[in-house]
């Protein structure tokens, strides 16, 4: 039981610290419905494609060291935002499971 409570507490802390806290605190069914919809699926696919393109562009470019460093940080920021959004459906599912079992 302690393990379930710890997992629940960890997930709650992650939700509280998330920049998408308001979204994660909405009824989980509504959030999952968004990502299951055609619009949500298209959004997730587009974000995944953006990640792939930005990384591929960075890897294939012949930039100066200074420009490459700047581009790296730009791509890293894009990747971080895309990853956060793309992972939201799984985070919502984890939150639902943790609150279901942990109270």
Round to whole Å and give the CA distance between 51 and 59. Answer: 12
Torsion angle of the four alpha carbons 43, 98, 26, 52, in this order, in degrees rounded to the nearest 10: -20
The pLDDT of residue 44: 93
The pLDDT of residue 1: 58
Contact present, 23 and 91 (Cβ < 8 Å)? no
Tally of CB atoms within 10 A around 20? 16
- Give the domain ranges of the chain: 2-102
Give residue-wise pLDDT tens across range 45-65.
999 999 989 888 888 778 787
Record the tokens describing residue 52, joined without a space.
């792939």
Question: What DSSP designation does 25 have?
Answer: T
88, burial (CB in 10 Å: exposed 0-12, middle 13-18, buried 19+): buried
The pLDDT of residue 45: 94
* Whole-prediction pTM: 0.68
- Asked whether residue 26 carries a pLDDT value surpassing 80, the answer given is yes
The pLDDT of residue 101: 65
The pLDDT of residue 102: 56
């Amino acid at each position: 039981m302690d393990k379930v409570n710890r997992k629940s507490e960890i997930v709650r802390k992650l939700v509280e610290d998330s920049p998408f806290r308001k979204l994660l605190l909405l009824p989980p069914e509504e959030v999952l419905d968004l990502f299951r919809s055609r619009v949500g699926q298209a959004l997730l696919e587009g974000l995944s494609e953006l990640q792939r393109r930005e990384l591929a562009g960075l890897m294939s470019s012949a930039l100066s060291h200074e420009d490459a460093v700047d581009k790296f940080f730009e791509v890293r920021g894009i990747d971080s935002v895309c990853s956060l959004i793309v992972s939201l459906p799984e985070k919502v599912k984890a939150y639902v499971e943790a609150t279901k079992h942990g109270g």
